[in-house]
């Protein structure tokens, strides 16, 4: 996380004091749960703490709502991914006993893969998944998608490069 600049802390204090109650109420309406709304409201202001340029805002509620919407999307994506993982586990022949820590690591890994796939672009993502999940050869991928072998290779190089960048981060 970036270093918090103390120059904008007074502004953030005012922003928090003036708009936290409104943000919490807005999120409670979206989530239907005061506890989750409180967590997301806090996360919204924590996100602001990490921003280097947090001067006075012309539309503070709009800005806060935009950050909170992004956090809501992340939350829903995480819940959907976790639900899919739990459903896949339930379909296994034998129950796997894993610790809460291992479960959390698996979910974080799946989220990282999901973020990576989202960044790839449609064609690159499709080619990458055909190679990795369906284990198709480059030639078979080209035939299925109606693209040349060099195109398949180019997109796989792009996908693998993104994987390396993510692994190095």
The boundaries of the domain holding residue 156 are 100-168
Whether residue 130 is found in the same domain as residue 80: no
**What pLDDT is stored for residue 7 in this prediction?**
56
Say if CB 129 and CB 159 are below 8 A apart. no
Which of 20, 53, 88 is where one domain is finished? 88
Tell me, what CATH number does 144's domain have? Answer: 1.10.10.10
Whether residue 105 is found in the same domain as residue 149: yes
Whether residue 81 is found in the same domain as residue 22: yes
Cβ count within 10 A of residue 155: 22
Whether residue 115 is found in the same domain as residue 66: no
52 located within any domain: yes
Whether residue 84 is found in the same domain as residue 105: no
Nearest to 160 by CA among 136, 135, 127, 137: 127
94 located within any domain: no
Lowest mean pLDDT among 3-7, 65-69, 140-144, 157-161: 3-7
Categorize the per-residue pLDDT at 1 as very low, low, confident or very high, splitting at 50, 70 and 90.
very low
19-69 pLDDT, tens digit per residue, is 999 999 999 999 999 999 999 999 998 888 877 665 667 888 998 999 999
Question: With a threshold of 0.95, does the pTM exceed it?
Answer: no
71-99 pLDDT, tens digit per residue, is 998 888 888 888 888 887 777 766 667 77
């Amino acid at each position: 996380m970036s270093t918090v600049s103390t120059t904008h802390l007074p502004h953030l204090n005012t922003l928090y004091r003036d708009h936290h109650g409104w943000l919490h109420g807005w999120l409670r309406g979206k989530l239907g749960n005061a506890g989750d709304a409180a967590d997301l409201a806090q996360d919204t202001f924590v996100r602001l703490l990490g921003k280097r340029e947090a001067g006075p805002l012309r539309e503070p509620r709009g800005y806060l709502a935009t950050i909170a919407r992004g956090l809501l999307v992340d939350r829903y994506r995480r819940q959907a991914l976790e639900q899919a993982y739990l459903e896949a586990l339930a379909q296994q022949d034998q129950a796997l006993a894993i610790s809460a820590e291992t479960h959390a690591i698996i979910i974080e890994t799946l989220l990282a893969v999901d973020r990576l796939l989202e960044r790839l672009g449609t064609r690159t993502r499709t080619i990458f998944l055909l190679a990795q999940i369906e284990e198709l050869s480059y030639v078979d991928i080209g035939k299925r998608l109606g693209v040349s072998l060099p195109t398949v290779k180019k997109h796989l190089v792009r996908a693998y490069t993104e994987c390396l960048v993510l692994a190095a981060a």
